[in-house]
Structure 1
Amino acid sequence: MDDNARGPELLKVASTAIDGITVVTVTGEIDHTSAGPLISALEVSAAADRPRVVVDMRHVTFMDSSGINVLLTAHHALTQADGWLRLAGFTDSVLRTLQIVGVDTVIPCHTSLHEALGA
């Protein structure tokens, strides 16, 4: 099979905790067919008492409106639970998407995971 004929990159999601903050690391493409694992990880995080979550997006290669909706829904749920959501690390195309729709004015966006954890 030709390497250029591969389908979209599958979404991989891993959660860890750093100093009481849940870090959700996302790799691949976030779209309507792949968002399930990210939704699940963010829902589990929102169930904690005063949840604090950073989504590390440095390995996200593509994100459509489905990804935007997942992040905004999580932001709302975490805020309602007296917690917060921060986004960290972006490819240029993903950051452009966040800026075009104004997500960066609603959810704090940081250039690195280290910056987001220290904010």
Structure 2
Amino acid sequence: MSSDPTPPGTGHLRVREDRGRTVLELHGEIDIAAAVEIIPHLDALTGRPGARIVIDLRHIEFFDCSGLRLLHRARHRVLDRGGELRLVCTHPLTLRVLRVTGLSRLLPPSPSLDAALEQPEATSGTL
């Protein structure tokens, strides 16, 4: 497993490789200001053909509709390019928001990073 430093310009995103996948670890409060910082990095990583991405939400403290838009954007971009996207989420309020909005049906959250990385490809949010 290799680890890259936080991308320039954002304290809300850490990117690293783990088991052949790119893990995007979101940190802190994911609101409109954080989303503006994250989008260029998200687009660069999700714009690659066949990208294998895991978005890890375990380290967030706040997640609003801007965060939902980030997830939807990432899913759309990855799937349009033949890749796969997985999600890790354990925070009860964030899980509730994902369920209420229906995003959890499109991008089922895993309870741990290991679970997401070991998940069979057929259940990786490619609905």
**1:33 partner SS:** helix
Alignment of 1:89-104 (within 5 A): 89-104=89-104
Deviation at 1:80, TM superposition (A): 0.5
Q: Which residue of 1 aligns with 2:106?
A: 106
Q: Which residue of 1 aligns with 2:3?
A: none
**1:48 partner SS:** coil
Q: Given the two structures, how large is their TM-score scaled by the length of structure 2?
A: 0.80
Contact 1:60/1:90 (CA < 8 Å) preserved in 2? no
**1:50 partner SS:** coil
Matched-pair identity in %: 32
Alignment of 1:1-119 (within 5 A): 12-119=12-119
Contact 1:15/1:41 (CA < 8 Å) preserved in 2? no
Provide the C-alpha distance between the structure 2 equivalents of 1:61 and 1:46, rounded to a whole number of angstroms: 24
**2:75 partner SS:** helix
| Higher CA-based Rg | 1
Contact 2:47/2:77 (CA < 8 Å) preserved in 1? no
Which shifted more, 21-30 or 31-40? 31-40
Provide the C-alpha distance between the structure 1 equivalents of 2:27 and 2:108, rounded to a whole number of angstroms: 20
Provide the C-alpha distance between the structure 1 equivalents of 2:108 and 2:41, rounded to a whole number of angstroms: 19
Deviation at 1:52, TM superposition (A): 0.8
Q: CA RMSD in A?
A: 1.5
Contact 2:12/2:30 (CA < 8 Å) preserved in 1? no
Q: Structure 1: where are the runs of 5+ without partners?
A: 1-9
Which shifted more, 79-88 or 41-50? 41-50
Q: Which residue of 2 aligns with 1:6?
A: none
Q: How many residues matched?
A: 110
Q: Given the two structures, how large is their TM-score scaled by the length of structure 1?
A: 0.84
**1:75 partner SS:** helix
**1:35 partner SS:** helix
**2:32 partner SS:** coil
Contact 1:60/1:94 (CA < 8 Å) preserved in 2? no
